[in-house]
Amino acid sequence: MKTYEISPFWKYLSLAIIYSIYLGALYFLYPIYSKTEMNMFVTVIIPFAYFFLGIFLYSYLNSQFSLILVIDNEKIRQENDKIYKEWYFDEIKGFRVLKNMIILETNHPEKKALKLASYYDNYSEIETWIRARFKNLDKNEKYTERKEIKAIEKKHKNLKESDAKKITKTLNVLAVIILIWMIFFKEFFITLAIYSSIVLFFICIFTLKKYKGIIKFIDNKNTISPSIGIALSLIPGALIISCILKYNFLDYSYILLYSGIIAFIILVIYFINEDYKTIIKKKFNLITLFFIAFAFGFGSIINLNAIHNQRNEYYNSKILNKFTSGGKTTSYIFTIDKWQYISEIKDVDISYDLYESKNIGDNISITYYEGFFKIPFYTVK
């Protein structure tokens, strides 16, 4: 029987990092807390909740770092005063290697995978024993994937993995270019950029469908197949980022409806001619593609609704308050009075230049747009 403990160095270093973040968060949270209207919840419950969060963190981390790993003749287990978990060797189907960690996956339906971080003393000895005792699932899956690709190439003579790699690389590079174009150079030919994004996205979908089984949705180290994930992620992101902070919408219901319809159409395009059981087996692909397609539909509808708008109306309102909202980035906000289409006082995000040029009590110009798809929105200038 062999016993391994987590190195005290890693235990105390991890605690120091976690509590530096925990205490450092107070520096950013206190200004927000101090400006909040005081009541029982704010003055008593929130401080106590944060205090007990710190106690919970210490208790949890201490229990995890006090786990002892024991390997005997027929099982491997982790234990301390409060936790006892065991895995018999015949319940372990193999291992995967991540950065600074080995994961032992189990075929037991009620047991979770065993994750062994490199924090253990003599970790190299543990890793050597696991590699000698169990199957490397990553290598097995890559071998299986290679066989599947070869079978597809044999069945469809015009589909080659080498061609797929060239195509995915080209599409991913074009998506990066479009992202840069729509974020940093959106003043130049924005209509062309939007239509280029839409066309490129559908090219990606049809390419993914044509090379199904060879090209993957997402890239990870466990696959040998080329991935189109960069393009599928960046195009919707570019469409949304380019306009989401520029326009203020009166109602999002139609945007969500049209986005759902577009997502459904894309799913039909991709999964058409596949039977129900096959689609269910690929539920990860189904869910992933739905969210990607929904985001694409959301960004496309907003942009097309704006660039093909046919009617504007102009109004004035008054600035009742101005303030900033901190975080990773600073947001600049005006509180404006009600106007023709807004029946209540409302906070709107504005640019830094506009924030600096206007004061409380000044009038503000509002442009109302009917929208090409009859989805009304407005801008503040």
Question: Residue 43: what pLDDT?
Answer: 64
- Summarised one tens digit per residue, pLDDT across range 162-202 is 788 888 899 999 999 988 888 887 777 888 889 999 999 99
Asked if residues 76 and 87 have their Cβ atoms less than 8 Å apart, the reply is yes
Question: Residue 219: what pLDDT?
Answer: 63
The mean pLDDT of the chain is: 81
Question: Has this prediction a pTM greater than 0.85?
Answer: no
Question: Residue 184: what pLDDT?
Answer: 80
Q: Among 377, 380, 234, which Cα is nearest to 308's?
A: 377
More confidently predicted of 37 and 337: 337
- 61-75, 120-134, 166-180: range with lowest mean pLDDT: 61-75
In CATH, 1-135 is 2.30.29: yes
Measured between alpha carbons, how far is 152 from 159 in angstroms, rounded to an integer?
8
Residue 212 pLDDT level (bands cut at 50, 70, 90):
confident
More confidently predicted of 150 and 37: 150
- Summarised one tens digit per residue, pLDDT across range 24-67 is 777 776 666 666 665 655 566 777 777 777 777 777 777 777 77
Say if residue 143's pLDDT is above 90. Answer: no
Measured between alpha carbons, how far is 235 from 198 in angstroms, rounded to an integer?
8
Domain ranges of the chain: 1-135, 140-307, 312-380
Question: Residue 200: what pLDDT?
Answer: 94
Burial class (CB in 10 A: 0-12, 13-18, 19+), 243: buried
Q: Which residue has the tokens 């491997």?
A: 76
- Summarised one tens digit per residue, pLDDT across range 245-256 is 678 888 888 899
Q: Check residue 68 and give left, alpha or beta (phi > 0: left; psi -120 to 50: alpha).
A: beta
- 98-102, 151-155, 216-220, 348-352: range with lowest mean pLDDT: 216-220
Question: Residue 249: what pLDDT?
Answer: 84
Question: Residue 173: what pLDDT?
Answer: 92
Question: Residue 34: what pLDDT?
Answer: 65
Domain spanning 312-380 has what CATH number? 2.40.50
Measured between alpha carbons, how far is 233 from 344 in angstroms, rounded to an integer?
37
- Summarised one tens digit per residue, pLDDT across range 289-332 is 899 999 999 999 999 998 888 788 888 888 888 888 766 677 78
